[in-house]
Amino acid sequence: MEIRQPYLMFLGDAPDQLAAKTAKGVAYWRPDACIGQLRLEGCKADLGLPDMSVEEAAEKGVKTLVIGVANRGGRIAPTWEQTMLKALDLGMDIASGLHKKVADIPSVREKAAKLGRSLFDVRHPTNDFELGTGAPRTGRRVLTVGTDCSVGKMFASLALEDELKKRGANADFRATGQTGIFIAGSGVSVDAVISDFISGAVEAIAPENDPNHWDLIEGQGSLFHASFAGVSMGLIHGAQADYLVMCHEPGRPHMRGLPHYGLPDIAEAIALNERCARLTNPRAKVVGIACNTSAMSESEAESTLAALAKEFGMPAVDPVRTGVASIVDAMLADAGETA
């Protein structure tokens, strides 16, 4: 799917900032694509973007109304319908990352069809993917993996893309989740792909490319998470990555949503991810550790990262606090490229 930019971020009646996490991620990484925000009465979230109506957004050239709310159950409130219909009337497409489909709302579906507008339910791929083959393909690929889910794999992937581009490299972020798709403008939500076709879907979004082109593929889940390991394995095989970056949150007490499972040892996580990745790329290896240290003080974070770097003999960073330059240095050096 290809979603037209710029965006008007629709926050609806989000009760708090967490409920607008999808919109927040898009606004952080693609501020130039986010013209404004539209909040209904009672909305408690704020992206810091200009508040504007659908009419004002249309005057500023907005192409897509993005439903940036992530609420419990992924529902679409009836009170949002008039806003969506008005956006269609004024020339906009609509994109949503919710489980419930905007295309299942009769009035919205019918008006979009009548006016020739596009409806993007990004959690629900419409492509027919081929089975993955594992056949060697050119180009350089990096996949973020994790000790757990929700440890910053998307953020690390985007930070790596940004750092490579700053150095003049030909690099693209490849989105595999709904927020990432809004940020990139394209991609596939792999957790909604039939399991047999996950690796093929990843091969499709990160295809053969120029030998010096870098794809930064957004990871999902964890091989150690009983709920999501299947998605992670399909991603690993389809990515055929040259380099893996291990993402981790120090101090997390247990696997997210599974209090009866502790987090794996980082050494164990590195070994298993490398072993699985080498099925489709025998040269695959972990070249860095990206940590979310937001719950730590500056000194705690510094000492934790230093200890990890010493223990594993590779860069250990927090993409927010330290940046990812040292990981990019390691990748370029191993690939025989100059910084």
Query: At 230, which helix (H) or strand (E)?
Result: helix 229-239
Token code pair at residue 146: 């994790």
Portion of the chain with pLDDT greater than 70, in percent: 98
pLDDT of 223 reads 98
Cβ neighbours of residue 110 closer than 8 Å, sequence gap 6 or more: none
Neighbours of 213 (CB within 10 A): 16
Cβ atoms of 259 and 294 closer than 8 Å: no
CA distance 169 to 332: 10
Looking at residues 273-285, what average pLDDT do you find?
Answer: 98
pTM: 0.88
Portion of the chain with pLDDT greater than 90, in percent: 85
Cβ atoms of 61 and 6 closer than 8 Å: yes
Does the pLDDT at position 74 exceed 70? no
CA distance 48 to 297: 26
Question: pLDDT per residue over 94-104, tens digit each?
Answer: 999 888 899 99
70 or 10, higher pLDDT: 10
Q: Where are the domains of the chain?
A: 7-121, 140-335
Q: Across the chain, what does the average pLDDT equal?
A: 94
Cβ atoms of 41 and 82 closer than 8 Å: no
298 or 70, higher pLDDT: 298
Question: pLDDT per residue over 106-122, tens digit each?
Answer: 999 999 999 999 999 98
Question: In the chain, which ranges are E strands?
Answer: 7-12, 34-39, 64-67, 93-96, 119-121, 140-146, 171-174, 214-217, 243-248, 285-291, 316-317
Does the pLDDT at position 19 exceed 70? yes
Does the pLDDT at position 73 exceed 90? no
Query: At 142, which helix (H) or strand (E)?
Result: strand 140-146
Same fold flag, 7-121 and 140-335: yes
Looking at residues 134-148, what average pLDDT do you find?
Answer: 97
CA distance 289 to 296: 17
pLDDT of 126 reads 79
Alpha helices in 75-206, H assignment, sequence order: 81-89, 106-115, 153-166, 178-184, 198-205
CA distance 186 to 178: 10
pLDDT of 71 reads 67
CATH superfamily of the 140-335 domain: P-loop containing nucleotide triphosphate hydrolases (3.40.50.300)
Residue holding tokens 């919109």? 23
Looking at residues 222-233, what average pLDDT do you find?
Answer: 96
Backbone angles phi, psi at 304, to 5 degrees: -65, -45
Torsion of CA 271, 281, 195, 152, to 10 degrees: 50
CATH 3.40.50.720 fits 7-121, yes or no: yes
* Inter-CA distances, 8 with 5, 169, 284, Å: 9, 30, 40
Looking at residues 327-334, what average pLDDT do you find?
Answer: 97
Question: pLDDT per residue over 164-185, tens digit each?
Answer: 999 999 999 999 998 999 999 8
Cβ atoms of 188 and 220 closer than 8 Å: no
Question: pLDDT per residue over 21-61, tens digit each?
Answer: 889 999 999 999 999 999 999 999 999 999 999 999 999 99
Query: At 75, which helix (H) or strand (E)?
Result: none
